[in-house]
Structure 1
């Protein structure tokens, strides 16, 4: 829980300043072994979000931005953590964790 909260806060901070990570995945979330805090890494291809793209109001008098790709990717990280399964698996009939979640939601059986 702490790791996901800290990661979400880090992404929110970047998005507030219009910096889009573009590579959110479990391999880019590191844990500091002294303080056990999450560190977001892997900024090989970040980009700045232009004002006209996806701008939303975050607080009265302030604006921030969000990027659907980062939000979706963070959701996939959450799915990995909740299920203890990898995003792509070659064990079993369904190889994509995302497809498993989408089918479960469509069938109304996401427990």
Structure 2
């Protein structure tokens, strides 16, 4: 039996990224840099570092505790609520728990634009 094209690629040691790049090239994908997005994301992080340096450090410790609680709660709302409960239906929840997960998820600020 003659080896297939996939067998030849595996024997040659081609990587997965090379396979994906060849596939994208065959379909005519372009991987140009989106400079507006690049500049916006870079500027966003530079301004965040500037803001932290000048304004964030005199914050009260209670604010940091509240931020940590909100971080955990929103993560729980995303993973436990939107992902596991409503997307995969991997468990059943009572109405109070569903409402709590809804509040936690909405505090995350994620939107579905599908």
Query: TM-score range, shorter-chain basis?
Result: under 0.3
More helix by share: 2
State the TM-score, normalizing by the size of structure 2: 0.22
Structure with greater strand share of residues: 1
